[in-house]
A = this chain, B = another copy of it.
Amino acid sequence: MSQQPRSAVIRDVARLAGVSHQTVSRVMNNHPSVRPETHDRVMKAVHQLNFRPNANARGLAAGRSRLIGVISHEPLLFGPASTLLGVERAARTAGYGVSVVTLEQLDHHSVTEALDRLTAQAVAGVAVIAPLLSATAAAAAQSVLAAVPAVVVEPDAVADLPTVAVDQVEGARLAVEHLLSLGHETVWHLSGPPTWSQARGRADGWRQALEAAQRAVPPTLTGDWSPRSGYDAGLELAGRSDVSAVFCANDHQALGLLRALHERRVRVPEDISVVGFDDIPESRFLSPPLTTVRQDFDEVGRRCLGTLLELIEGDEPAAPVSHLRVRPTLMVRASSDRPSRLAVSR
């Protein structure tokens, strides 16, 4: 008797509103040439029937769905996870859905496979949140991505594709200049793994800022993003008397470093100032609260989607490949302060 009322389709709405289904379609897609009165009548019917256009039918008929594909590598790290969230938020606001494929490895096959999955879904565009560093991965990407609008969320240019990212060099510069302005002679750097372009960008910014201020460039310590590597570096630095400021490539490393310094009775910021990168939620609750560089991932997501939508909806095919950079912000907290004594006096 009480049949499950099959969800309304466009013709149901049309019948109820007394128009053709095509007019309903026009209303749903904000086509300009619909009389306001008709528009309202249709919308009333839409609400009355709780009509939602079927995304599959739309995608099929239009050739592309309102779906953005996202390829994500290491989606548990803070940066990638935050970027994914940012893209999803922006997409949702723009009326797009987000289909995610994670990448276990970065080889040719995995990348191709992931892209195939997404294109099979007729996604309107693809956002790549993965370092396409290996030439083979990039090549795999390029062949497929030539056909579908794509944006790479990476600070380095990749294979002629548009990119969006936080300006890593600028962020590092902010950190270093902040420390120098406090009176530190120079700044040490604990970098991330050099296979990541983010790590390379931060190291470059650090070096550039020091050189611009004509300061000595200390040797670089290399970590792997983990607190453990920060801890190890901290033990090493605690033994030196010529270190008054350290810039860590991410907050997790800074966390480990803080612990090591604390164990060795090196006071922060009195003896050594520390600055991190990321502004993870924990940072302002560390002891001392960590000065760090905040990245606006929501903005990255918005820009990312903006670029995609331009490519998708844009008519002019000759738009130049864009490389948007989002400006990071320095969050000054207690872990950085002016040096209380000259480094040499230790």
Contacts and interface: CB of A to CB of B under 8 A. Distances in A.
A63 to B, nearest CB: 9
A56 B52 contact: no
Contact of A226 (B82, B119, B262, B282): B282
A227 B281 CA distance: 9
Given A54-B60, A56-B121, A100-B100, 5 more contacts: A52-B119, A56-B57, A76-B78, A231-B285, A262-B263
A251 B61 CA distance: 50
Chief secondary structure at chain A's binding surface:
helix
A288 to B, nearest CB: 11
A101 interface: yes
A29 interface: no
A75 interface: yes
- How many copies of this chain sit in the oligomeric assembly? 2
A252 interface: yes
Given A52-B116, A52-B120, A76 B65 contact: no
Nearest to A96: B117
B102 A88 contact: yes
A338 interface: no
Interface in A181-230: 226-228
Given A85-B76, A97-B99, A227-B282, A56 B259 contact: no
Given A57-B60, A228-B285, A263-B287, A98 B97 contact: no
A100 B98 contact: yes
